[in-house]
Amino acid sequence: MADYEGMANGVVSGDFNRVAELTRQAIDEGAAPVEIINEGLIKGMNVVGARFKAGEMYVPEVMMAARAMKAGMDLVKPLIAESDLPTAGKVVLGTVAGDLHDIGKNLVGMMMESAGMNVINLGVDISPEKFAEAVREHKPDIVAMSALLTTTMLAMKDTIEVLQEEGLRDSVKVIVGGAPVTNDFATEIGADGWAPDAASAKDLALELVGK
C-alpha cells in the first residue's frame, strides 16, 4: 500500500529525498500515477498553502515544499499521457515590464501547479506585447501579472489595454498581485481580480475558471 500520508508529510516538511523515495515505491507497487499526485503530492501542498496563508509557514519553507513536490512530480509525470493529466485551467504568468522580481511570482506559479493548473511562466520584465503574444499562442484561461514596485504597477494597466486593443481581453481573466498592488487598483485598471498572497492567488484562479 502506497504511503500517501508519508509522501504528503514529506512535501510539507520539504524533504525531497523522502518524497522521491516514497513516490518511487508507490510507482513500483503499481499505484495509479494520478492517485499519487492527488493523494500524496497535492494533498501535502494543500496543507502548505493553508499554513502559508495562516502565517504559519514562510516563503523559504514553501519553496522547499514545492521542490519536494516537484521531485515526486518529475517521477510521475512521464507515466501519464498528457490527456489524462487533470488540468484545472491554463495560466500565463509573468512579472510586468521594468520589474525583475521573481520569487513571489514563482511562488504563485508553484501554488497554481500544485492545484493542477497548467502554468506558462514567462519570467520577469514582460512587456504588454509579450503577454498578448503568449495569450495568442497558449490560449490561457487566465493571465496573472505581478509587480513589486509602485513604478511598474502601471505596466499592468498598459498590458490590459494592449489585450483590449488586440481583441484578446474577453478571452481571458486577468488577475494581479504584488506588494504595492491593491484591490482598488485592480478594479481601477479593469482586472478581474486581485490576490494578497500566493495561496490566495491560487484560490482566485480556481474560482475564476469555475473549479
pLDDT single digits (tens) 172-208: 999 999 999 999 999 999 999 999 988 899 999 999 9
Beta bridge partners of 120: 92
Residue 82 is predicted with a pLDDT of 58
Under CATH, which number does the domain 4-84 receive? 1.10.1240.10
What ranges in 58-146 are assigned the alpha helix state H? 59-76, 103-114, 128-138
Residue 166: its H or E element? none
The structural domains of the chain, with segments of one domain joined by +, span: 4-84, 90-208
pLDDT single digits (tens) 164-181: 999 999 999 999 999 999
Which amino acid is present at 51?
R
Under CATH, which number does the domain 90-208 receive? 3.40.50.280
Q: Taking the chain (211 residues) in consecutive chunks of 10 residues, what is each chunk's mean pLDDT?
A: 94 96 96 91 91 91 92 89 73 97 91 89 98 97 96 97 98 96 98 94 94 73
Residue 53 is predicted with a pLDDT of 86
Integer Cα distance of 11 and 50 in angstroms: 13
Strand pairing of 90-96 and 142-146? parallel
pLDDT single digits (tens) 33-42: 889 988 999 8
176-205 CB burial, b ≥16 within 10 A, e <16: bbbeebeeebbeebebbbbbebbbbbbbbb
